């Protein structure tokens, strides 16, 4: 990546799919530990930067099965780490092993991302297929992908953005495609991921952690998705009421000040004179009652 604007990239996926290797390829140096096995090497989120303006976060496998951490705990750790180490990332690279069939867990990767970051993250998501040998041409790869409805569905959910790479011998054009897709979703570094309800996701996850949420992974994902969707909707409705109350309050104060003729003197009077405050409250209540009545 040669442009001088900032790029913050989060790499997610299952253990063994080549997340750390991909991070090293993009950074053009061995920044993350790699392993040619399915044993998890990355145990916690780690951020590395190149000499320019690219930052990459390597995350633990979302579905590590060593029994040390639950799905909820993994989700919380990833969310917290991104917030602290690399806030407002520009792109999410979802790493899948392109040489094997998708597992049920991998088919749920996007659902887990929604749980951690929200639906908005998919507008910044890119599927990266690793372990694709360089001698497999585009036509052969496309024909193979078309046979997997699960893979095609994942790619569609990410805006049909996908790239390929052979981590052992990465070709420059494959690396460049990933870079172009990152530039595309970030509009050359001008647009980053933000979710104003991220704290709601965190609250739901923390509550699930306290109640020892367990069971089959797909059941946990379904349950958490429903809980987060409901919590976000409730928060939206609450915010609407807050804004409405704030608007009524502003009008009420204005009405009280107007009673004294408006201007700096009136404002000072309403703040410092107890009797004036009483009158402002009385006038404000009358205005508020009128406003609220008119909305019904």
> pLDDT truncated to tens, each residue of the chain (296 aa)?
556 788 999 999 988 899 999 999 999 999 998 765 444 545 678 999 987 789 999 988 777 655 567 889 889 989 988 888 889 999 999 999 998 888 888 888 899 999 999 999 999 999 999 999 999 999 999 999 999 999 999 999 999 999 999 989 999 999 999 999 999 999 998 999 999 999 999 999 999 988 876 677 888 889 999 999 999 999 999 988 888 777 766 666 666 556 556 555 555 555 555 565 556 556 555 655 555 555 45
SS3 assignment, position 201 = helix
- Which domains, ranges and CATH numbers included, belong to the chain? 7-214 (3.40.50.300), 231-294 (no CATH)
For strand 54-58 and strand 46-49, is the pairing parallel, antiparallel, or unpaired? antiparallel
Strands 7-13 and 54-58: parallel
Beta bridge partners of 91: 9
Task: Give one DSSP letter per residue of 68-124, joined into a string.
Answer: SS-HHHHHHHHHHHHHHHS-S-SEEEEEEETTSPPPHHHHTHHHHHHHHH-GGGGGG
Quote the CA–CA distance of 269 and 260 in Å, as a whole number: 8
pLDDT at position 262, please? 57
Task: Tell whether pTM > 0.85.
Answer: no
**Euclidean distance between CA atoms 274 and 58, whole angstroms:** 60
pLDDT of residue 38: 46
């Amino acid at each position: 990546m040669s442009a001088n604007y900032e790029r913050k990239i989060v790499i997610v996926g299952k253990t063994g799919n080549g997340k750390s290797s991909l991070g090293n390829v993009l950074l053009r140096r061995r920044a993350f530990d790699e392993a040619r096995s399915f044993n998890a090497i990355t145990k916690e989120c780690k951020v590395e930067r190149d000499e320019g303006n690219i930052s990459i976060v390597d995350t633990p496998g979302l579905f590590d099965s060593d029994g040390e951490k639950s799905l909820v705990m993994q989700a919380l750790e990833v969310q917290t780490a991104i917030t602290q180490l690399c806030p407002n990332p520009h792109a999410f690279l979802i790493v899948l092993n392109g040489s094997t069939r998708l597992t049920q867990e991998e088919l749920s990767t996007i659902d887990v991302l929604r749980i951690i970051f929200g639906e908005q993250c998919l507008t910044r998501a890119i599927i990266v297929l690793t372990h694709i040998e360089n001698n497999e041409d585009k036509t052969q790869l496309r024909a193979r992908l078309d046979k997997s409805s699960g893979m095609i569905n994942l790619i569609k959910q990410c805006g049909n953005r996908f790239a390929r790479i052979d981590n052992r011998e990465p070709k420059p054009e494959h690396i460049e495609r990933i870079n172009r897709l990152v530039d595309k979703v970030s509009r050359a570094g001008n647009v980053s991921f933000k979710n104003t309800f991220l704290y709601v996701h965190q609250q739901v996850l923390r509550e699930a952690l306290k109640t020892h949420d367990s069971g089959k992974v797909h059941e946990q994902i379904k349950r958490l998705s429903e809980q987060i969707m409901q919590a976000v909707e409730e928060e939206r409705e609450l915010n609407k009421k807050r804004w409405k109350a704030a608007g009524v309050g502003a009008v009420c104060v204005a009405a009280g000040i107007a009673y004294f003729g408006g201007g700096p003197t009136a404002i000072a009077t309403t703040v410092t004179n107890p009797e004036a405050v009483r009158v402002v409250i009385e006038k404000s209540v009358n205005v508020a009652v009128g406003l609220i009545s008119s909305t019904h």
